[in-house]
Structure 1
Amino acid sequence: MAEAPPLQIIFFLLLLLQATAGEREDEACLANLYKSFEDKQNNLRNWTAANFASPCNGFTSFLDGATCNNGRVFKLALPSRSLSGGLAAGLGGCADLQTLDLSSNELVGPIPPELHLLSNLAVLNLSANRFSGVIPAELSLCVYLNVIDLHGNLLSGEIPQQLGFLARLTVFDVSGNNLQGEVPALLANFTGGAPRFNVSSFAGNSGLRGFPLPPARGGGLTVAAIVCIGLASGAASLLLSFAVVCAWIRADDRKRALAKSSHPNSPPPSLL
């Protein structure tokens, strides 16, 4: 009867299989991401199929903008690379990814809800692009998120209430979009005597309202208009009063003239 393999060998084989599966996931994730980009200036020249298959060697990365840890990509930072196109939904395959920074590019389209598959994601910076559509509520499933920076896009709709439950969130910026509705209370409540996120996090959204934003200006009259109306009303009242007095004087004069004509020989009233 053959002797069972030692537990150490079984454990090693399991780790090997897990690492191989992880590399395949990274390969598919990176390939999908690259396909969704338009790299007109060839800034990602080393993003090749060969490097997708083996993007890391321990802590060494073979891809521009990628940082590795124990053979897995855990950070992608590609700010200001003049990238256009969109953001691939298949990015969720990079399961170890903790930072995704695609800020200051020309990316368009929606933010894919599949980002919630990045269960270890701590930093999401998609600012200064042209992303449109709504902010995915599914981002609230990334419980390790510390930073959500989406400022300077074309996002619309309301801010998902669920994002307020992200307990680790310390940076939240959705300024300069087309958002509307109420600021979620859990993103604006007081912590330590100050709002959790201040006005600058929400500014530049004409349809957004609620604390900590200042009260919206109503569609009523301006101060100058109110003053003008007041002056006009006063002038009208004065003219009306003057007209009434003139009419009363004329009526009194007529009454006296009629009385004099009806008694032409009557003596003048006594002064005594």
Structure 2
Amino acid sequence: MDMLIILFLLTSAALPLASPDPNDEACLTHVSQTLKDPLKNLQNWTKPNFANPCNGFTSYLPGVTCNNGPIPQELQYLLNLAVLNLSSNRLEGVIPPQITLCAYLNVIDLHDNLLTGQIPQQLGFLSRLSAFDVSYNKLSGPIPASLGNRSGNRPSFNVTSFEGNKDLYGYPLPPMKSKGLSVLAIVGIGLGSGLASLVLSFTGVCIWLKIRDEKMAAEEGKMSHPMPDY
């Protein structure tokens, strides 16, 4: 039976003397068991280094970044990866679309990082995905409909999965507040103002014509009465 891998990296090495994190050690041990190293590039991937892989922001393990940097595209080779939790690690860069090759993923938790760019459309096609959180990053662009409005028996993800990204928009987030009048609004205001001016002008002309007609009728009335004889 293939082993499902849980990648749960909560790097606690912000300080050089930070205590080892058993979650890191277990994760790195599982990952090392799935890797092949014909070129002997992973000789430092040993149990002592799994227990304490970082010295501040420096990693003792090739291919492992401590507490910052991008999400490695190499995750795509962990085909049995089931849980990806990289939250609160100050990760930068974009979400690599290659992680969608991990067909067994059912949890993706990337909240509270510094990720930028758009959410890959392909993530919504992970059929086993039941938990998804990219809140409080610097993501932008539209939320893929395949994540915000999933069909069938696949779970949809609510506002809390996406909040905290000021340039991210689309369902289920509330509509973004307009920073100014739209083109249609401006055109509408212009047409409305022009129509109002036309109505006022027409009303003014009508009043003027009525006054003129009344004055002319009064003058004609005076002329039709005969002058009295003295």
Is the pair's TM-score, using the shorter chain for normalization, greater than 0.5? yes
Match of 1:202 in 2: 162
Moved more, 131-140 or 207-216: 207-216
1:73 aligns with 2:19: no
- 5+ long unaligned stretches in structure 2: 1-8, 32-49
Structure 1 residues 236 and 165 mapped into 2: Cα distance closer, same or farther (>3 Å)?
closer
Q: Would you say how many aligned residue pairs link Structure 1 and Structure 2?
A: 189
1:139 partner SS: helix
Q: Equivalent residue for 1:52? A: none
Distance 1:242 1:167 in 2: 67
Tell me: CA distance 1:85–1:65, structure 2 relative to 1, closer, same or farther (3 Å).
same
* Residue in structure 2 matched with residue 248 of structure 1 by the alignment: 209
2:93 & 2:129 partners in 1: Cα distance? Answer: 22
Within 2, Cα distance between the matches of 1:127 and 1:137?
Answer: 18
Percent pairwise identity: 43
> Do 2:120 and 2:144's aligned partners in 1 also have CA atoms closer than 8 Å?
no
Q: Quick one: distance in 2 between partners of 1:118 and 1:198?
A: 28
2:66 counterpart of 1:109: no
CA-to-partner distance for each residue in 1:36-89, whole Å, 9 max, x for gaps? Answer: 996335214x6xxxxxxxxxxxxxxxx6544549xx8239899xxxx6579x87
Change (3 A) 1:190 1:168: same
Q: Is residue 181 of structure 1 aligned with residue 142 of structure 2?
A: yes
2:63 is matched with: 90
Note closer, same or farther for the CA distance 1:43–1:37 as it changes in structure 2 (3 Å cut).
closer
1:26-41 equivalent positions in 2, closer than 5 A = 39-40=14-15
Q: Is the 8 A contact 2:148 2:158 kept in 1?
A: no
Judge conservation of contact 1:38–1:85 (CA < 8 Å) in 2. no
Deviation at 1:197?
A: 2.2
Higher fraction of strand: 1
Distance change >3 Å, CA 198–CA 169, structure 1 → 2: same
Q: Cα–Cα, structure 1 residues 253 and 84, in superposed 2: closer, same or farther, change >3 Å?
A: farther
In 2: Cα distance, 1:141 partner to 1:91 partner: 20
- Asked if the contact 1:148–1:171 (Cα under 8 Å) also holds between the matched residues in 2, the reply is yes
Aligned match of 2:98: 138
Cα distance in 2 for residues equivalent to 1:37 and 1:115:
21
Q: TM-score, normalised by structure 1?
A: 0.49
Equivalent positions of 1:145-184 (< 5 A) are 145-177=105-137, 178-184=139-145
RMSD: 4.8
SS of 1:132's equivalent in the other structure is: strand
1:183 Cα shift? 0.9
- Residue 86 (structure 2) pairs with residue 126 (structure 1): yes
**CA shift digits 1:194-220 (9 cap, x unpaired):** 743233323344444444445555667
The residue number in structure 2 matching 1:5 is none
Structure with more contact order per residue of length (Cα contacts < 8 Å, sep ≥ 6): 2
Separation in structure 2 between the aligned mates of residue 77 and residue 174 of structure 1, nearest angstrom: 28
Q: CA deviation at 1:173?
A: 0.9
Alpha-carbon contact 1:159-1:184 (below 8 Å) kept: no
Superposition deviation, residue 125 in structure 1: 1.8
The residue identity in structure 2 corresponding to 1:125 is: N
CA contact (8 A) 1:188 1:198 kept: no
